[in-house]
């Protein structure tokens, strides 16, 4: 039997993916937008809807960045609301492990899992910058080499809290007057270099035992963290070959952590542009890209790499022939895209060579280098291509990032999903009750022995 494709939806915003100027683009903040996207995803039998997180508005040149979507609601609150208007869709949220505490986050995820009947998922991220820390009393600056260590410790700590209830304590026997069988249910004690906490976790074991764990991050430490602890990994590896290399690498790491290949799914983020003909789809895609990357956006993006004011440049002209300024995150603050380029001078050289070879203006260059993996073409071409990626082990599925809010997945759901179903590579009904079931992840091992028994 063919490998089954998994699909998920990302609610777009903040990065310049959203074409907010389109008349069909509605609110980025009203619940109706989230509800529309979630209902479409569920109609199309997607595994989950994914929300990113932001904890400080981005700045450039000392001012709040105003060209892209600015502002978004609280992740937990929206996901709990969406649990009310969906039945099967997984509810995945990025929650930072730097500016939160394990007890609080574990409590919220366990609550979300209860309130959604077992559909919660957590994308564990760590932010290290002092810029974001300025919104929090604990500050939160972390040296970069401690990022994954803190994330891992945070996750392990939360995990102990999830496992502090075995799941059979509550009997609620009215006649006998026994609500719970274990007077010490929820007891925990955890001490490591980052967390020193003890007491009683007050949310009983949730339907999934714990949320499904997602991880994003491409460094060696990030891959190792994912292989050790995550159920799914988000990637940016777009091309077939890059995807296959990444896929092979992370799956190869699993046995070293006592895990099988089925215990970690790989999801690249991707975009889809459809047309009645391939040519029409490509024309449409080019139009979308030009809406996403205005001349101003291109200049500002260039400034993030060059780390200096380039506002005098013409976006339709050539790239600057001077090199980026040394230093990190000085002109642009709070933008993840800046951090991808470890060696700005080398990247600038590559971009100049690319622009010269292809005769690209600044704007055309930025359009080219910021493109996500895209499936562009007729519905049948897109279905075939997506299937190829999955069957050839470049990934296990995709997180679709639509360019329109909230209707950006409607066409995909109507046109592509039925074709995947016809091929027998995509479900027609949800197979299970929980997100974990629907992702085909193996059952959780039994809760570890609680700390009071271990000590």
Site for another protein in 91-110 (CB under 8 A): 99-101, 103-104, 107-108, 110
CB 54, CB 14: distance < 8 Å: yes
Residue 426 per-residue DSSP state: S
Among 125, 203, 319, 376, binds another protein (CB under 8 A): 203
Total residues at the site for another protein (CB under 8 A)?
74
d(CA 356, CA 353): 5
Cβ proximity to another protein: between 74 and 276 the closer is 74
Is residue 168 at the binding interface for another protein, with CB under 8 A as the rule? no
Place of tokens 């998922």: 121
What's 178-222 look like in SS3? EEECCCCCCEEEEECCCCEEEEECCCCCCCCCCCEEEEECCCHHH
Element (H, E) at 158: helix 147-162
User: By C-alpha distance, which of 100, 122, 98 is closest to 110?
Assistant: 122
Is residue 178 at the binding interface for another protein, with CB under 8 A as the rule? yes
Question: At its nearest, how many Å lie between another protein and the CB of residue 142?
Answer: 16
Structure tokens at 223: 């891959």
312-351: contacts with another protein (CB under 8 A)? none
Cβ proximity to another protein: between 108 and 271 the closer is 108
Is 219 labeled as ligand-binding? yes
Cβ proximity to another protein: between 102 and 238 the closer is 102
CA distances, 43 to each of 88, 132, 162, 431 (Å):
10, 37, 31, 14
User: By C-alpha distance, which of 7, 32, 142, 99 is closest to 421?
Assistant: 7
Among 3, 24, 144, 181, binds another protein (CB under 8 A): 181
Among 2, 3, 135, 257, binds another protein (CB under 8 A): 135
Is residue 136 at the binding interface for another protein, with CB under 8 A as the rule? yes
Cβ proximity to another protein: between 29 and 371 the closer is 29
Is 2 labeled as ligand-binding? no
Is 94 labeled as ligand-binding? yes
d(CA 115, CA 127): 28
Question: At its nearest, how many Å lie between another protein and the CB of residue 169?
Answer: 9
Using CB under 8 A as the criterion, what x/- string covers residues 24-53 for binding another protein? -----xxx---x------------------
Stretch that binds another protein, among 201-209, 272-280, 309-317, 321-329 (CB under 8 A): 201-209
Cβ proximity to another protein: between 116 and 270 the closer is 116
d(CA 267, CA 255): 20
Q: Which residues are annotated as a binding site for FMN?
A: 94, 148, 219
């Amino acid at each position: 039997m063919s490998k089954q494709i998994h699909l998920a939806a990302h609610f777009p915003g903040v990065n310049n993916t959203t074409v907010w100027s389109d008349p069909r683009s509605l609110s980025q903040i009203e619940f109706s937008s989230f509800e529309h996207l979630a209902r479409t995803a569920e109609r199309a039998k997607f595994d989950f809807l994914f929300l990113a997180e932001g904890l400080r508005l981005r700045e450039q040149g000392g001012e709040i960045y105003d060209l892209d979507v600015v502002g978004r609601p609280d992740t937990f609150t929206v996901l709990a609301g969406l649990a009310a208007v969906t039945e099967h869709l997984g509810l995945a949220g990025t929650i930072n492990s730097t500016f939160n505490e394990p007890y609080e986050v574990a409590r919220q995820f366990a609550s979300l899992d209860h309130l959604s009947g077992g559909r919660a998922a957590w994308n564990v991220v760590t932010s290290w910058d002092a810029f974001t820390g300025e919104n929090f009393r604990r500050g939160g600056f972390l040296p970069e080499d401690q990022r994954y260590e803190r994330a891992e410790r945070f996750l392990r700590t939360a995990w102990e809290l999830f496992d502090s209830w075995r799941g059979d304590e509550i009997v609620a026997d009215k006649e006998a007057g026994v609500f719970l069988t274990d007077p010490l249910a929820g007891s925990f004690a955890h001490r490591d270099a980052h967390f020193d906490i003890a007491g009683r976790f007050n949310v009983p074991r949730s339907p999934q035992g714990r949320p499904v764990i997602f991880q994003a991050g491409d460094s060696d430490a990030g891959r190792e963290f994912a292989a050790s602890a995550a159920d799914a990994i988000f990637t940016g590896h777009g091309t077939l070959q890059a995807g296959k290399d990444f896929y092979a690498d992370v799956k190869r790491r699993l046995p070293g952590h006592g895990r099988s290949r089925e215990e970690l799914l790989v999801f690249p983020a991707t975009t889809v542009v459809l047309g009645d003909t391939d040519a029409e789809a490509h024309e449409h895609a080019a139009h979308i890209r030009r809406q996403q990357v205005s001349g101003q956006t291109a200049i500002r993006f260039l400034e993030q790499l060059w780390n200096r004011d380039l506002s005098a440049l013409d976006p339709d002209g050539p790239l600057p022939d001077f090199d980026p300024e040394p230093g990190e995150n000085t002109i642009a603050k709070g933008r993840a895209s800046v951090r991808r380029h470890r060696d700005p001078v080398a990247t600038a050289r590559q971009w100049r060579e690319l622009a010269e070879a292809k005769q690209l203006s600044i704007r055309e260059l930025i359009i080219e280098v910021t493109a996500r993996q895209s499936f562009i073409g007729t519905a049948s071409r897109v279905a075939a291509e997506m299937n190829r990626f999955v069957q050839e082990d470049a990934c296990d599925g995709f997180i679709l990032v639509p360019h329109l809010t909230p209707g950006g997945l409607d066409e995909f759901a109507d046109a592509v999903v039925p074709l995947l179903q016809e091929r027998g590579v995509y479900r027609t009904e949800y197979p299970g009750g929980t997100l974990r079931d629907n992702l085909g992840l193996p059952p959780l091992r039994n809760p570890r022995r609680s700390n009071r028994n271990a000590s």
